[in-house]
Amino acid sequence: METLAEWFPNLTLGFATAVTPINLLYCFLGVFVGTLIGVLPGIGPLAAIAMLLPITFNLPPVGALIMLAGIYYGAQYGGSTTAILVKLPGESASVVTCIDGYEMAKQGRAGPALAVAALGSFFAGTVGTILIATAGPPIAEMALKFGAPEYFSLMVMGLIASAVLAHGSLLKALAMIVLGLLFGIVGTDVNSGMSRFAFGVSGLTDGISFVVIAMGLFGFAEIVNNLEAGGSKRDLLFQKIKNIWPTKEDFKRSWAPAMRGTAIGAFFGTLPGAGPTIAAFSTYALEKKVAKDPSRFGKGAIEGVAGPESANNAAAQCAFIPTLTLGIPGSGTMALMLGALTIQGIAPGPQVMTQRPELFWGLIASMWIGNGMLVLLNLPLIGLWVKLLTVPYRMLFPAIMVFMAIGVFSVNNQALDIYMTLMFGFLGYIFVKLKCEPAPLILAFVLGPLMEENLRRALLISRGDPTVFITRPISAGFLIATALFLVIMLAPAIRKKRDQMTEDPVGA
């Protein structure tokens, strides 16, 4: 067991980094704020991280990353609380939890539902952490051998996967990717030094800040849309949550779904472009299929909480694998994490693990600690989170606006960024109206410059011959996988299934 021997010094280094008082504090702050944001409806993890990113500029790199990661999985966690208690998923990955979680709460079993969600997530988080620690180094080692064609094909695969797994029309999702790549081009071309699509605006020569795009598309547009929907009534279901501990029967029903959910989540999390949402949906579908009595689902089956909740947490955790080892983010949120790394002066990629081992292993150790903190934070403090739900939206959105304004402005201290956010907010609102999903766009936006650079290099090596992408075996493998994705998704039967899954499963 060569890997095991490697593990010890690495994990020891990781924990030594993560348990310093200051890093523990960052971790705690992260999961606390994350839970808060997850509980509050109308603001997803992506907008939250974008909003809070500027705050971490002044922190040391390890602390910044630990805190942002905490926000990310904390939000995932908080989302399930609201899904169970008020049938309002704090974010999309907990949409399926609404179905059976809310039914359980209706039957007075909110406590066990919350506990199983928390314990399942903790289990999944632990497995996820072990997986990253085990799979990370070999993948990074392999990635060091990747050339430009491999990187380009890998990014194509990630982008297509994100379109395939997005909501709604596949064609529109693909068009959004191209649009995202185009937005990524704005700014100075690294090769020629030429300023592109800056339209004579000097503030644009550095390109569009991703904080601006994320806040516009996901923050601003979201608020306008929520306001239009009117004050949604929230049926708060908590008659003092007393017995939180699940029964023996609950445990017996939950452990197998939690394991299956973790496995599915780990798979979808590692795959660039997929993510927690699709993992949770798939797990729910699977649990319904393998259940002895499928009719219990939708009527408060605990398996319908344990499975998806483990799956989305495992996926959230494993999304760090491509991000940290390849430097290729699998989702918009992960793209923001990479952005944070870049701002800290660290070039993302497989070399991070060897050059900054304390950063990589410290982050991993902190994720495990953070998951533990979440259990402690969520179960005893559930009353506090429930109280937060009673804050009406009309008092919430001005606060979000203020945080967004401060966040955007603090990146460059120029009013232009604020006006740009406004423009992207408008655009985002139009996207909502035209049912164009913005998630693939932001991923493409971040990958755009990387893709152009790798395309340029690949074609330079091959002397302009585009077959280089299919004659190199690894690159060809990625492209074949991509083609398979598309073909499978275009098959009528599966397409119907995808529409069902990505559309509106709760019927809310």
Partner 1 sequence: MQLKIKSQEDFWAGLMFIGFGLLAVVVARDYPMGSAMRMGPGYFPTYLGGIMIVMGAIIAFRSTLVQGEKIRAFGWRGLFFLSLAFATYGFLIDTLDVGFVLSIAAVVILSTLASREFKWLESLILAGVLVLGTVAVFIWGLEMPYPLFWWR
**Pick 259 or 459: Cβ nearer partner 1:** 459
Place of tokens 């994350």: 34
Minimum gap (Å) between residue 58 Cβ and partner 1: 7
The DSSP secondary structure of 261-324, one letter per residue, reads HHHHHHHHHHSTT--HHHHHHHHHHHHHHH-S-GGGTTS--THHHHHHHHHHHHHHHHTHHHHH
Minimum gap (Å) between residue 224 Cβ and partner 1: 4
Structure tokens at 198: 């800056």
Q: Classify 328 in phi/psi space as left (phi over 0), alpha (psi -120 to 50) or beta.
A: beta
**Pick 55 or 346: Cβ nearer partner 1:** 55
HSE of 411, CA atoms in CB hemisphere, 13 A: 28
**Pick 289 or 463: Cβ nearer partner 1:** 463
d(CA 215, CA 358): 31
Question: Please, are residues 452 and 190 in contact by the beta-carbon 8 Å criterion?
Answer: no
**Pick 251 or 426: Cβ nearer partner 1:** 426
Place of tokens 């280094």: 13
Structure tokens at 363: 């982050």
d(CA 491, CA 304): 28
Minimum gap (Å) between residue 457 Cβ and partner 1: 9
> Which residues are at the interface with partner 1 (CB under 8 A)?
55, 58, 169, 171-172, 174-175, 178-179, 181-182, 185, 189, 191-192, 194, 196-197, 220, 223-225, 227-228, 230-231, 394-395, 397-399, 401-403, 405-406, 409-410, 413-419, 421-422, 425-426, 429-430, 433-436, 452, 455-456, 459-460, 463-466
Minimum gap (Å) between residue 399 Cβ and partner 1: 6
Minimum gap (Å) between residue 213 Cβ and partner 1: 14
d(CA 398, CA 193): 41
Minimum gap (Å) between residue 327 Cβ and partner 1: 20
CA distances from 361 to 139, 326, 502, 504 (A): 15, 16, 35, 38
Query: Could you give the angle at which helices 332-343 and 61-86 cross, rounded to 10 degrees?
Result: 160
d(CA 432, CA 223): 12
Minimum gap (Å) between residue 168 Cβ and partner 1: 10
**Pick 242 or 394: Cβ nearer partner 1:** 394
Minimum gap (Å) between residue 440 Cβ and partner 1: 13
Q: Output the CA torsion sign for 141, 367, 445, 411.
A: negative
**Pick 141 or 189: Cβ nearer partner 1:** 189
HSE of 225, CA atoms in CB hemisphere, 13 A: 21
d(CA 335, CA 507): 31
**Pick 54 or 78: Cβ nearer partner 1:** 54
Minimum gap (Å) between residue 75 Cβ and partner 1: 19
**Pick 66 or 266: Cβ nearer partner 1:** 66
**Pick 172 or 472: Cβ nearer partner 1:** 172
